Structure 1
Amino acid sequence: MLIDSHCHLDFADFTPDREAVIARAEQEDVSAFVVPATTVASFPAVLALVDSPARIFGALGLHPYFLSEHGDDALAALHQALDQHAGQVVALGECGFDARLADHDAQWQLFEVQLSMAREFSLPVIVHCVRANDEVAKRIKQARLTRGGIIHAFAGSQVQAERFLELGFVLGLGGSVTYPRANKLRGVVASLPDDGFVLETDSPDMPLCGFQGQRNEPSRVAKVADVVAELRASSRHDIALSTTTNVQRILQLNV
């Protein structure tokens, strides 16, 4: 069994054929999906998916990319939703920091408050981190979280990877690792411990090599598994087994 530890099945991109997308994933032995919210407006859709027949697990958070959409009451709304849906939510996320975006101070403030909430509710964190691995790791350490989490779409160095692992996090591996030019990342992937990573697609974004320009889908987490298996001189079966175990441990999933 494979788990897509990060996909946005709530996005409108999947409205026309969401059930077919899930069915295609299941045909590739992808049997569970983690869907992180990005804005307060997305909370109802994510929570509705959690109640669906498929094995879909939801997380609630405020993504830095949508900073302009997070009104003054967004953090209060997140806190209320985490409290109200404590039994339905497996993590706080997607939250984090993106150095490509503006308003760095506001991004950091938003991230730090969410880390504080994660500690309050004893939730793991799904972290969006772009070109800021060292600073994100520093702030995670300062937050003194009770649980770890997942560094989504990790693309850092060996040293940065080891630091996140020491903080109780695992690294999310997705489309980026499928590109032959990603030599540094592929080298890190080859040397990670078996309990240090999970698989993801970030559907509908982050297309895999060979699928550029196409909508990404959770079914392709199987192709990510194949690439990771090749880099680690392993098999898809073993990669599926270890990464499923890792997601279950980090997010305390009952699958």
Structure 2
Amino acid sequence: MWIDTHCHLDAPEFAPNLPAVIAAAKERNVKAILLPTVRAADCQHVKALAALYGNEIPGLVYTLGIHPLYSAQANESDLEIIEQQVQQSLSDSRFVGIGEIGLDYFVEGLDPHHQEWLFHAQLDLAEKYQLPVILHVRRSQDATLKALRRRKMNGGIAHAFNGSFQQAEQFIELGFKLGFGGAATYQRALQIRRLLSDLPLESIVTETDSPDIPPAWSKEEGLSFNEPAFLPRIAHELAAIRGISPEDFSEAVWRNAMKVLPRWLALCSANPELPLAS
């Protein structure tokens, strides 16, 4: 039984064939998927997808936030929309936190000051409502850690983690799990594979970041983008890097995700089809 802690089901790549994408994930025993929002304008759509496909994927949940790659278009009114949506979603069992938020110092042309303003405002929102966060930390680990230390945060997931071992330890100390997916399936991804091998097992969660970060075998098999149905095959490779059985790895990453996102745990614990996070 597998869990994808980061999957953009609302991406345009999936729109023409989303029912088949969901069916394929279900067939491969992906029982839980986290769908992060990337723009304020997408909140209603993301919520609707979680409600529509929740019967197919019983652990399908969502978070609300503005991605740093969309920071240039975001303003105060967008933050107001996010907070309104958060308030309305607190009674929705499929709502589990704030995200995807963060900083991106890799993509050129993004105003770092505007990014930081948006990120800090959303961290304040997470602190206000005591919600965990889903973090985008591309080449911004130190700045992100500094921002987190200024607040009393409830942890979360640093997705697609590719920092140093020392930075990883600091995120873990602050109550975060670290997301690993398709990037680790590339032999040349030495740093990511080393982290996956050496970090405490209880700090690791699995993700696809679909439709992005396709696994190493995608091109040779003629696949144009990533999808949640690939998660079990990706996770088998991650387990091999880790040196444990897929079954043990599956149990660990499920337990880790549930521990750091308590609203997700509450949803899954109420469903007899899904494992407990004990």
TM-score bracket for the superposition, by shorter chain length: over 0.9
Matched, 1:243 2:253: yes
Query: How far apart in 2 are the matches of 1:161 and 1:127?
Result: 13
Which residue number in structure 1 is paired with residue 207 of structure 2? 200
Of 222, 232, 240, which aligns to 2:242?
232
Which residue number in structure 2 is paired with residue 68 of structure 1? 72
How much does 1:218 deviate?
0.3
Report if aligned partners of 1:157, 1:185 keep a CA contact under 8 Å in 2.
Answer: no
Amino acid at match of 1:162: E
Matched, 1:95 2:101: yes
How much does 1:167 deviate?
0.5
How much does 1:68 deviate?
2.5
Which residue number in structure 2 is paired with residue 142 of structure 1? 150
How much does 1:193 deviate?
1.2
How much does 1:224 deviate?
2.1
SS in structure 2 of the partner of residue 155 of structure 1: coil
Deviations 1:28-53 (A, max 9, x none): 21111100000011111110022122
Which residue number in structure 2 is paired with residue 189 of structure 1? 196
Matched, 1:133 2:144: no
Query: How far apart in 2 are the matches of 1:9 and 1:177?
Result: 22
Report if aligned partners of 1:112, 1:143 keep a CA contact under 8 Å in 2.
Answer: no
Note the residue ranges of structure 1 that are not aligned, 5 or more in a row.
Answer: none
RMSD: 1.2
Report if aligned partners of 1:39, 1:69 keep a CA contact under 8 Å in 2.
Answer: no
Which residue number in structure 2 is paired with residue 176 of structure 1? 183
Query: What is the TM-score normalised by the length of structure 2?
Result: 0.88
Which residue number in structure 1 is paired with residue 274 of structure 2? none
Runs of 4+, deviation exceeding 4 Å? none
Query: What is the TM-score normalised by the length of structure 1?
Result: 0.96
Note the residue ranges of structure 2 that are not aligned, 5 or more in a row.
Answer: 269-278
**Percent identical across equivalent pairs?**
37
Amino acid at match of 2:217: G
Amino acid at match of 1:132: S
Kindly report which structure 2 residues correspond to 1:7-46, keeping only aligned pairs within 5 A, or say none. Answer: 7-46=7-46
Query: In the comparison of the two structures, how many residue pairs are matched?
Result: 254
How much does 1:84 deviate?
1.1
How much does 1:12 deviate?
2.0
Query: How far apart in 1 are the matches of 2:14 and 2:127?
Result: 32
Which residue number in structure 1 is paired with residue 116 of structure 2? 108
